[in-house]
Structure 1
C-alpha cells in the first residue's frame, strides 16, 4: 500500500490539514512547519494524487500537447521548446502523438480531458470534426495548422509571405518554370505557402499552371516516385518545396538522375530544420522561428490558465519568416 497523507502528517508531527496546506501552497503555515512537512514527504517518498487535488483545486498544473507526427523534426523541436517553457513555470506536459489520424486525435483529446489538464495545445491532424470536444472554458491553443473555430487561440508563421519570398528568390535567380512540390495534406500552412507562390508569379507576370503543382507524401520514397514520373513530362528549372524534407527528397532524386544543383535546377525548401543545415549541398530555405513559436505557445497557455482568459477572447499570432541562402540556389 502506498504512502498516504496521514503517514506524512504522523511523521512530521502535524495535522493532515497542515500537510494539505503546505502541499497546496496554502497560507498560515510557518517556514519551520513547512520544512518539517517537506522533509517527511521526501523521506517517505510521498506522491500526492494530482487528479484528486485537481478536483479540489480545479488545477492540476498539467498541459496536454497533441502533435501529428513526433518523428518529424519540426514537431519534435516544437514539443521540446514547449515542454521546457512549461516546466519553467511549474507545469508538466502530457505529450500525445496523433499520427495524423482523426480517431487517435479524438481519443487523445478525451484522455487529456479525463486527466483534468489545465489546457491543451494542439497541432491539428486537419480534422475539424474533433473541435466540438473542447470545453468552452478550457484554454485551447492551436499551432501551425488553423482549425475552423473562432474561439481557439492560434500561433503560426507568416506562411504566405514565406511562399512568396521563396518563389521570388527563384525568379530573381533566373528561374522561369517553377515547380511547387507540396505536402498532399490540405493543411492551412501548405495552402498559405501555395498562395504566396501564386502571388510571386503574378507579381512577375508569370502564368500559374496547375500542372506545376505536385503533391506528395513527405517520405523519401514517395518524393522519389513523383520526381521520376514528372522529370521527363514537365520542363522546370526551379522547385519550391513546401517543406525541407520534400526539398531534400527532390534533390537526392535529381542528383541521381544526373541533374546538377543549382546549375540545372534550383531548389528551395521551407522550415530550416537541422537536417537542412547539414545536408550537402546546403539547402536554401525559408526559416521559421520554431523556438519562438514554442515559447509564445507556452507563455500564452500559462497566461490563459492563471488569468482565466476565456477562448471567446481568442487571438491569432503570426511570426516572421526569413530566407536563408545556401547552396541549392544561385
Structure 2
C-alpha cells in the first residue's frame, strides 16, 4: 500500500505538498497539482482516514451511499445506520448514487471526506474502484453484493421472500400469477424471479413467461406493465411486485383493476391503502443497524474474521390485497 511519502518521492515534492493537493488546497500551482495528481493515480494512493480523524479531533464519520434516498427501503436503512452512529458519537454523510455510471464518482467523493467507514447499497456492476479502500476502512455492502470485490455483506433473503409472496397468492386459489419487476441487471430482481419461478413450480402451476414483465421502475413503467398483462386473453388474477417503488406506482393503476397483489418491501401508508397491501417486510431498519454495527466491530477489531455474508430474514405481513377476487359481486374476504 502506497504511503504519502511514496507519492511525494514519485512527484518530487514534499509530503506536505501531497497533503495540500489531496485536500484540494487552492494555494498550489497547476503544474505541481497535475504532477502530484498523476502520482496519486499511478500509486493508487488512499489516505488512512482513522488516524487523520483522530489527529484533527473530529468525530468518526460513516458514509451511507444508497441508490435513491427517497426510496422507502433505502431511507429506512440509512436512518437506522444514522441512529446507530449517533449512539456511538459518530456522524453520518448520506448520498444518493443516482445511476450505475455515477456510483464511482459519488462514492469516491464521499471517501475523500476522511470517512472512517462506508455502507453502500450499490447499483453498478464493478466495484473494483473500492479495492484500495477495503484495506484502510470498513466497507460494508447492503442489499446487493459487490462485484469484483470481497467485502462484508448484508442481504435480505430475496428468494425466500419471493417464494413466500407467490405461494401466498397460490394458496388463495390463484393460478395465473404475474411477476412485475424493474430490471434483471439487479441481483435482487434476479433472486426474486428465481423465488417466484420456484413457487410456481412448487404449487404445481404452469409457468407462463408472458406473465413475467419488467421495466416497472416508476409510475409510468408500472402502468405500462399492468396494461401489457391486461391485454392477454387469459390475463392474470394476481400479481407479485418485486419492490416498493414499483408498488407505489401501481396504486393508482390498481384502483380500477380487480387483482390480488403482494409486494416485496413495506412502505409508509401501505397498511392504510384500500385494499391495504400484503408485503414481504425486508426489515431495512434491521439491515441498516447491522451494517453500522459491523463498522463499529471492524473499527475495534480490524483483524476479525473477514469478510462475512449475513442473510437478513424476511417476513410476510398479510393484509387485504392478497384476498382481492376477480369474481363480480364477491367481496374481499
TM-score, length basis structure 2: 0.75
1:128 to 123, 126, 133: 126
Is 2:301 the partner of 1:274? no
Please name the residue that 1:209 is paired with. Answer: 208
Q: CA contact under 8 A between 2:68 and 2:74: conserved in structure 1?
A: yes
Is 2:305 the partner of 1:306? no
Mapped to 2, the partners of 1:235 and 1:51 lie a distance apart of 58
Please name the residue that 2:71 is paired with. Answer: 72
Change (3 A) 1:93 1:326: same
Change (3 A) 1:251 1:232: farther
Structure showing the higher helix proportion among its residues: 1
Please name the residue that 2:34 is paired with. Answer: none
Mapped to 1, the partners of 2:151 and 2:314 lie a distance apart of 23
In the TM superposition, residue 201 of structure 1 has moved relative to its aligned partner by 1.2
1:289 to 283, 290, 293: 283
Q: Which runs of 5+ in 2 are unaligned?
A: 1-48, 324-333
Please name the residue that 1:250 is paired with. Answer: 250
Change (3 A) 1:307 1:226: same
Mapped to 1, the partners of 2:271 and 2:72 lie a distance apart of 13
In the TM superposition, residue 251 of structure 1 has moved relative to its aligned partner by 4.7
Change (3 A) 1:134 1:124: farther
In the TM superposition, residue 58 of structure 1 has moved relative to its aligned partner by 11
Please name the residue that 1:6 is paired with. Answer: none
Equivalence map 1:19-30=2 (5 Å): none
In the TM superposition, residue 55 of structure 1 has moved relative to its aligned partner by 7.3
What RMSD, in angstroms, separates the aligned Cα atoms of the two structures? 2.4
Q: CA contact under 8 A between 1:126 and 1:145: conserved in structure 2?
A: no
Mapped to 1, the partners of 2:288 and 2:294 lie a distance apart of 10
Mapped to 1, the partners of 2:104 and 2:50 lie a distance apart of 21
Per-residue displacement from partner, 1:231-277 (whole Å, max 9, x unpaired)? 12252111000013323433531333xx33xxxx2111111111312
Q: CA contact under 8 A between 2:229 and 2:236: conserved in structure 1?
A: no
In the TM superposition, residue 204 of structure 1 has moved relative to its aligned partner by 1.9
Mapped to 2, the partners of 1:244 and 1:279 lie a distance apart of 14
Change (3 A) 1:198 1:301: same
Mapped to 2, the partners of 1:308 and 1:179 lie a distance apart of 46
Per-residue displacement from partner, 1:109-134 (whole Å, max 9, x unpaired)? 22223222111110101332554454
Please name the residue that 2:241 is paired with. Answer: 241
Per-residue displacement from partner, 1:81-121 (whole Å, max 9, x unpaired)? 1011011111111111111242x221122222322211111
SS of residue in 1 equivalent to 2:320: coil
User: Paired residues, what number?
Assistant: 273
Is 2:159 the partner of 1:196? no
Please name the residue that 1:158 is paired with. Answer: 157
Please name the residue that 1:115 is paired with. Answer: 113
Mapped to 2, the partners of 1:309 and 1:275 lie a distance apart of 43
Q: CA contact under 8 A between 1:158 and 1:319: conserved in structure 2?
A: yes
Mapped to 2, the partners of 1:52 and 1:165 lie a distance apart of 47
Q: Which runs of 5+ in 1 are unaligned?
A: 1-49
Please name the residue that 1:46 is paired with. Answer: none
Q: CA contact under 8 A between 1:60 and 1:118: conserved in structure 2?
A: no
SS of residue in 2 equivalent to 1:245: helix
In the TM superposition, residue 219 of structure 1 has moved relative to its aligned partner by 1.5
